[in-house]
Structure 1
Amino acid sequence: MIRLLMVACLLLCLTLTAGCKKQEESSTSPSADQKAAALPDTDGRTLIELITVTQDYRQWPLFPGKEALYKGQHPHGAYLTTYVSPTVLAALQNKKGQLPDGSIIVKENYSPEKELAAVTVMYRRTGYNPEGGDWYWLKYAPDKTILAEGKVDGCINCHRAVQNNEWVFTGPVKPAELP
């Protein structure tokens, strides 16, 4: 009888442990809906808060192959520094050929005197604007005043020239173009 009771207790413990482990896994592994909900809205204030306070983009890696203050051109500035979110870096390193939902590219725009003039941001949200590569565009001043945001025609029209490279001029994204 005691042996039967011990076996029953052992089975009960194993069952409870398996149930707890399954519940723990499901609570720590976010669903696609939870992941989408974790992405910021396509809103300038929200995005600026995310990249300057919550995640400080200046701690992100530079676009592969680029250094700080590389030569730029109009409309961005005489010098540029381009940072990429961890999701962008992973996609570039893994030669995915596509930048995933939630990708963020931040470009600091400097004057010829190497003073920060503006910050421009590309933020990908699937379904946001398929005609514009699903990119949300943002430009803000050093004091965080929003200068342009959303489906900015100037950004879309210019970057359309590199739509086959995920709308990115800074460097190659597609595997055929990667070293």
Structure 2
Amino acid sequence: MRVGYTLGSTGTCLQVDDEPLADVEVVEGSSERVVLRVDGVRRTYDVVLDGDVAHLDSVAGYSALRLAPRFVDPSTLNPPGSLTAPMPGSVVRLPVAEGETVSAGQTLVVLETMKMEHTVASPIDGVLNALPVQVGHQVSSGDVLAVVEAVDGGEVASDATEL
């Protein structure tokens, strides 16, 4: 079961499995107790937080809910080794091709922003695994420009395990 809520101008909207519940009002709430009015019926829940689990106890019984983060961690949205645009701009040069070996400090992408050039360099020795941009592309701050996979002892580091 997935439980969520949104706060709006008319009050709190509670959803269970992405379906809105009608007429839910938060009467009071603290880290130890939540009182709701659901379809006119007042319900009190004692709450104990244990890491990312909320243990709820009421006259209706016990439930445990795993707390999901409110905001997605941006570092989980991009593949490991991603180099992102530090600011909006236009890609003007790509001096290295996808699949080539690169050295730490080597320029991978050149952006033009506000009539100035900005270089994006590899932070590590590795292989340029992905180059999702082309010369002339407009990019926004945070867009992935290149993905570099580290080289470990002459071998390309990988999450794969050989059997």
The alignment's TM-score, normalised by the length of structure 1, stands at: 0.25
Greater percentage in strand: 2
The alignment's TM-score, normalised by the length of structure 2, stands at: 0.26
